Amino acid sequence: MSTQRFLLFSLSRYRGKVLFSLVVSFTVGTVFAQAPDQYRAIEEIVVSAQKRGDVRLLDTSINIQAFGEQELEDRLVTDFRDLAIAVPSLQIQDQNGPGDREYVIRGINSAGDSTVGVYYDEAVITGSNFENGGGQNAPIQMHDMQRVEVLKGPQGTLYGANSMSGTIRFITNKPKMNEFEGYLEGQGSTTRHGEDSFDMNGMINIPIVENKLALRAVGWVHRMGGYIDAIRIESGPLKDINSEDTEGARVHLRWTPNDDWTLTASHTYQNLETGGASRFMEGTSSDLTVIGFPPVEAGYLENTTFTQDKWDDKLNISSLTVDYENQFGVFTGTTNYFSRSFVFRHDQTDVTASNPFFANFFPEPFQATLPIDRDVWSTEIRFASQLDDSPIQFVVGAFHNRDDTDWKIQTMNVDEDGVVFPFTPGTEDDVGSGGNTVYGSYRNRDVQELAVFGEATYSINDNFELLLGGRWFKSDFDMDEAVTHPFFFTDVIPFAVDSIESTAEDLTWKVTMSWSPADNLRLFATRSTGSRRGGVNPAGLPFEEFSIPEGFGPDELVNYEVGVKSRLLDDKLDVNVTAYHMQWNDIQLEGTDAVGVFNFIGNFGEAKVNGVEFESTVLLADRLRISAAWSYQDAELTEDTPDLGENIPRGRKGDTIPNVPDFQGNMSVQYDQPMWGSWTGQVRFDAIYRGATQTEFNNDIARNTKLDSFTILNANFSLIQVDSGWRVNLFAKNLTDELARVDAFGGDNRELAFVTVRPRTIGINVSKRF
């Protein structure tokens, strides 16, 4: 079968799991059948995940999926959503907007703090919402990025407690000391059923003093048109409410006073505003009896919220990193400040209007508005050895992190446009007053963490290496909270402050044995642990009978992993395979009080995850590249969660962990063809598949929703002129206009809502490098 006929056959079968194994079998066979001199080498990717400088991805004993600058450009990546769907074993849950993302790696999905660490260069920017598993990750635009690294499996040794299941690293381009360069890029697109979008960004690199001082700056303006219609707003339907407007900039300044010292300072700013949430209730009339409001029928990509659920998000990241290199190694000191202020809003009308008791007190639509201010200071000092002719190499360091989060909830009635009235605090003399204010409270959380860590590699001989790593950390947790406006039918006194303190410490460790029988072949086996600190639950609830546990303890993950990395056939074929088994103990899960109103977190049960991850890239002739990646994971409870009451849903032994598909994968086909003069044409197709899943442990839980499997197909045609720096891209994302339900929430006392990928979007992207 010819290459062209095979590709057409593959694309016609893109919905089937068999596609990925067919691609691998075909590409390996074809490569062996061709002469090696017909192929270019696959681009070498280096990573810095081991904190020992840049090393070949092939020389690491970690399962890392890395995307270099060229791959990001070919995929037209501007937002991590564009890339995440191409990473098997990674899920994004995004219920309330682009700033509410929760990352899930290898099926480790639960409430509590984040199980995935997130780094922007050296800065810790991990999401902090412990009510949904570390959601509210910052949606930073990805312009002028050097690469993105996704580390799979526990990374607690080098990256701490919030890297229990993996780590995501966004690595920006740094100033070039002797080269003036830059680019300008513009993009416009149209979305079916929605508004038009545009994006403009540009970069400039200026050597201020040759070999000594250089500046690199990048800026962006991003307008993403909406495609969800709000049909229940009293003043009339609102079209395309989930628009996104983003502006931002980043500046790097690098100083190299001599060959030994490098100082890099940077600042990133971004402001994001959305018009409403990207939720829809398509296909059914109201699932709930909303007392006092007539039922409505939601059509295609329509939602039935009573309020405008906007999201406003402003962030700043400031960093200073100093590297000093001598004959023994590299000393690195880095200090970073991450500041973020955001407000998200959520319609609460159906929560109470579906209950006859509450409906008597809340006869009008109302909205919860949550202003959140967060400040994170992270500092790390480490030394990475470079000992010539020594069989031992190591990295050791110390880390301090302080995370202050001020969280408010302000619940008010809304006007006819679905916009909230001003918040009015209650007083001790007038409990429950405040006109249009329904409820208010605040929670101030301060978490400090101190850690020491290290990893050492011992080369037993030219082929075998042994790695030992460990990290000890201690965290102190303080929280103050108070009710600033009680429910007006209660006698809770406002401003009675509750204070809670807790301390925890733990040790995570790692052992890896690797064998390299050839330069481009590595086999490894790892046993590693991950741990996530515990925490406290909200106090100050309005009824004594709604009491919940004051706190919850840490959970722990034990990981067993074997893998192989290879580059074969004169650098024309990469194949990486990893298999793992993880045991998860004392899982932090969300529970509900005895009457099913207020949520809390407790340690419930155990689970296991068995999985296989596969990646392969092959070059066929000079111009054709095919890549495939997939993962299989079996994530399930190994014991029942406790029986906490009639109204509290339980997980049963054998239940699948929510929002974790058993199979997902992707494939890309890219073909380059010289056109006229110095212009080259490039055609690229990407197919992304995700298997079916569900939102809760089992069908006995009323709000459980099944999510069908889906496949997304993207296409891109490019004209590239390397000499002049011009590139023109014609692209189509979600080519088949798939209504892919990636997440759902609701049930019980809330309208069932879905989140989907953007409908078919067609556009043009033009860039000029100089």
Question: Concatenated DSSP letters for 365-431?
Answer: -EEEEEEEEEEEEEEEEEEEE--TT-SEEEEEEEEEEEEEEEEEEEEEEB-TTS-BPPP----SSST
Q: Quick one: average pLDDT of 600-622?
A: 89
Question: Concatenated DSSP letters for 518-570?
Answer: ETTEEEEEEEEEEEE--EE-----S-GGG---SEE--EEEEEEEEEEEEEETT
The residue type at 400: H
Residue 96, token pair as written in the block: 């309330």
Question: Which pLDDT score is estimated for 3?
Answer: 36
Q: How confident is the model at residue 26 (pLDDT cuts 50, 70, 90)?
A: very low
- Selected residue with higher pLDDT from 145 and 14: 145
CA end-to-end span of the chain = 43
Q: Is residue 674 predicted with pLDDT exceeding 70?
A: yes
Query: What phi and psi, each to the nearest 5 degrees, are found at residue 735?
Result: -55, -35
Question: Which pLDDT score is estimated for 333?
Answer: 98
Question: Which pLDDT score is estimated for 489?
Answer: 57
Q: How confident is the model at residue 170 (pLDDT cuts 50, 70, 90)?
A: very high
**How far apart (Å, rounded) are the C-alpha atoms in residues 550 and 536?**
6
**How far apart (Å, rounded) are the C-alpha atoms in residues 524 and 530?**
19
**Which range, of 408-417, 456-465, 500-509, averages the lowest pLDDT?**
500-509
What is the enclosing helix (H) or strand (E) of 33? Answer: helix 18-33
Q: What is the pLDDT of residues 51-101, one digit of tens each?
A: 988 899 889 999 999 999 989 998 989 889 888 888 988 988 877 778 888
Q: What is the pLDDT of residues 103-131, one digit of tens each?
A: 999 999 888 788 999 999 999 999 887 66
Q: Is residue 503 predicted with pLDDT exceeding 60?
A: yes
Residue 79, token pair as written in the block: 């937002």
**Nearest Cα to 610, choosing from 546, 573, 657?**
657
Burial class (CB in 10 A: 0-12, 13-18, 19+), 316: middle
Question: Which pLDDT score is estimated for 222?
Answer: 95
> Token pair 């580059």 is at which residue?
567
> How far is the CA of 76 from the CAs of 70, 305, 334, 727, 729, in angstroms?
10, 33, 31, 12, 9
Question: Which pLDDT score is estimated for 14?
Answer: 37
Q: How confident is the model at residue 505 (pLDDT cuts 50, 70, 90)?
A: confident
The residue type at 621: A
Q: How confident is the model at residue 571 (pLDDT cuts 50, 70, 90)?
A: confident
- Selected residue with higher pLDDT from 552 and 133: 552
- Selected residue with higher pLDDT from 40 and 318: 318
Q: Is residue 670 predicted with pLDDT exceeding 90?
A: yes
**Which range, of 434-443, 522-531, 730-739, averages the lowest pLDDT?**
434-443
Give me the helix-helix angle, 18-33 and 3-12, nearest 10°.
170
> Token pair 């407007």 is at which residue?
245
Q: How confident is the model at residue 147 (pLDDT cuts 50, 70, 90)?
A: very high
Question: Which pLDDT score is estimated for 31?
Answer: 34
- Selected residue with higher pLDDT from 360 and 208: 208
Looking at the chain, the number of H-run helices and the number of E-run strands are 7, 42
**Nearest Cα to 115, choosing from 180, 60, 160?**
160
CA-CA-CA-CA torsion for 14, 15, 19, 20, nearest 10 degrees?
A: 100
Question: Which pLDDT score is estimated for 1?
Answer: 43
Percent of the chain with pLDDT over 90: 54
Q: How confident is the model at residue 428 (pLDDT cuts 50, 70, 90)?
A: low
Q: Quick one: average pLDDT of 596-622?
A: 85
**Nearest Cα to 283, choosing from 735, 708, 770?**
708
The count of domains in the chain is 1
Question: Concatenated DSSP letters for 573-613?
Answer: EEEEEEEEEEEEES-EEEEE-TTS-SEEEEE---EEEEEEE
Question: Which pLDDT score is estimated for 36?
Answer: 33
Q: Is residue 485 predicted with pLDDT exceeding 60?
A: yes
- Selected residue with higher pLDDT from 625 and 546: 625
**Which range, of 364-373, 544-553, 599-608, 688-697, averages the lowest pLDDT?**
544-553
Q: Residues 6 or more apart from 275 whose CB is under 8 A from it?
A: 226, 240, 241, 242, 243, 244, 308, 310
Domain CATH for 65: 2.40.170.20
Q: What is the pLDDT of residues 192-236, one digit of tens each?
A: 999 999 999 999 999 999 999 999 999 999 999 999 999 988 888
**How far apart (Å, rounded) are the C-alpha atoms in residues 359 and 366?**
12
Residue 424, token pair as written in the block: 């009015």
Helix, strand, coil percent values for the chain (each to nearest 5): 10, 55, 40
Q: Quick one: average pLDDT of 376-398?
A: 95
Question: Which pLDDT score is estimated for 158?
Answer: 94
* Average confidence score pLDDT of the chain: 85
Q: Is residue 37 predicted with pLDDT exceeding 50?
A: no
Residue 85, phi-psi category: left (phi > 0), alpha (psi -120 to 50), beta (remainder): alpha
Residue 650: which domain range?
3-769
Q: Quick one: average pLDDT of 391-395?
A: 96
Q: Is residue 24 predicted with pLDDT exceeding 50?
A: no
